């Protein structure tokens, strides 16, 4: 990458109607396709969709939705954020994204990761006790498949391959990343396999991730691999004013944090947590000027090649689309001016 890219990604979170009722999954999925069209028209570089298998997220097959997006867009790159590799088959992952790459004219990317949730493990018959070995072995195989040469591989999590070719082939190869939440071991593993590093910054100041970017560079040098790009993503929403943006996001953010806390044993959000995450944490909520200043500050402390705005706050679809427009047409140009 010769300059910083600016993208969007979404977990396919269920949105609401004017009365606050959750929209059905089919409508949410159709809306995501429309969002990507707006992002393409706004000049953004990337649109990513995450894989989940639970009721509050609509997308379990990002590649299918991205194929629909490919048919309606012209230039924006398309990828998963993330593909839950631990509970998938690397051969099938490569085949699906190579197919997406073909129908999109070479715009497909893979972001492989462990995933934010564990529902896919029992759903597809995997034991959580194998959490580490599943990801390690499957990432190793995926990295080999990405070279598009005959693969010989053996492990404990799937059948071995001997001098095996996988199809379809691509025209220019697939760009691939590993989604990492902040584990040094994961950063080093990503460097060893020669893949891009995709850092999920969902809480706290961005500066605390600078050591991971430095570690990634050092590890690549030690492994003697070609330097790969680094991306970050953080959640947020852009509106015409700071007050409007905060009002739109506040209740849904508190409800989401409370729900996640109950599932994972976190304490409920305290008074002032929402405001602190906006002012000094990883929540990019506000007017175009406010969000642009915060993104520019992040890019000044982190040496990254792409910033992705995770825009799927639990609001109405019209608010999402307006946020995408403001991000592409106002925020990104301002950030480019600031960092220049």
Cβ-based neighbours of 276, under 8 Å, separated by 6 or more:
none
The residues with which 199 forms a beta bridge, in sequence order, are 180, 232
Q: Which residues of the chain have pLDDT under 50?
A: none
Instruction: For 115-153, write each residue's pLDDT tens digit.
Output: 878 999 999 999 999 999 999 999 999 999 999 999 999
What superfamily does domain 5-339 belong to in CATH?
Answer: Luciferase-like domain (3.20.20.30)
pTM of the model: 0.96
> Residue 264 has what pLDDT?
81
Domain boundaries, the chain: 5-339
> Residue 116 has what pLDDT?
78
Task: Name the average pLDDT for the chain.
Answer: 96
Cβ-based neighbours of 320, under 8 Å, separated by 6 or more:
15, 31, 35, 311, 312, 313
d(CA 6, CA 175): 16
Residue of 166, 117, 158 lying closest to 138 (CA atoms): 158
CB 199 within 8 A of CB 182: yes
């Amino acid at each position: 990458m010769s300059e910083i890219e600016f993208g969007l990604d979404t977990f396919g979170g269920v949105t609401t109607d004017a009365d606050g009722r959750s929209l059905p999954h089919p409508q949410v999925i159709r809306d995501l396709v429309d969002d990507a069209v707006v992002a393409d028209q706004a000049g953004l570089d990337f649109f990513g969709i995450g894989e989940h298998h639970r009721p509050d997220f609509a997308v379990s097959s990002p590649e299918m939705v991205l194929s629909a997006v490919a048919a309606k867009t012209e230039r924006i790159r398309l990828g998963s954020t993330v593909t839950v590799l631990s509970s998938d088959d690397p051969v099938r992952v490569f085949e699906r994204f190579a197919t997406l790459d073909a129908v999109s004219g070479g715009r497909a990317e893979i972001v492989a990761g462990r995933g934010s949730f564990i529902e896919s493990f029992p759903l597809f018959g995997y034991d959580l006790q194998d959490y580490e070995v599943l990801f390690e072995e499957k990432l190793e195989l995926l990295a080999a498949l990405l070279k598009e040469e005959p693969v010989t591989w053996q492990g404990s999590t799937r059948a071995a391959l001997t001098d095996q070719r996988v199809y379809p082939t691509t025209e220019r190869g697939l760009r691939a990343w590993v989604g990492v939440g902040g584990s040094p071991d994961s950063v080093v593993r990503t460097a060893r396999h020669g893949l891009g590093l995709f850092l999920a910054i969902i809480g706290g100041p961005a500066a605390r991730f600078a050591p991971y970017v430095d570690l990634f560079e050092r590890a690549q040098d030690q492994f003697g691999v070609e330097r790969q790009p680094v991306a970050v993503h953080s959640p947020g929403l852009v509106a015409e004013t700071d007050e409007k943006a905060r009002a739109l996001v506040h209740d849904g953010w508190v409800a989401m944090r409370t729900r996640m806390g109950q599932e994972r044993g976190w304490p409920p959000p305290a008074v002032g947590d929402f405001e602190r995450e906006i002012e000094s944490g990883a929540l990019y909520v506000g007017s175009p000027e406010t969000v642009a200043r915060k993104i520019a500050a992040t890019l000044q402390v982190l040496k990254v090649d792409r910033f992705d705005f995770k825009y799927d706050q639990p609001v109405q679809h019209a608010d999402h689309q307006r946020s995408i427009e403001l991000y592409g047409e106002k925020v990104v140009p301002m950030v480019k001016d600031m960092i220049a």
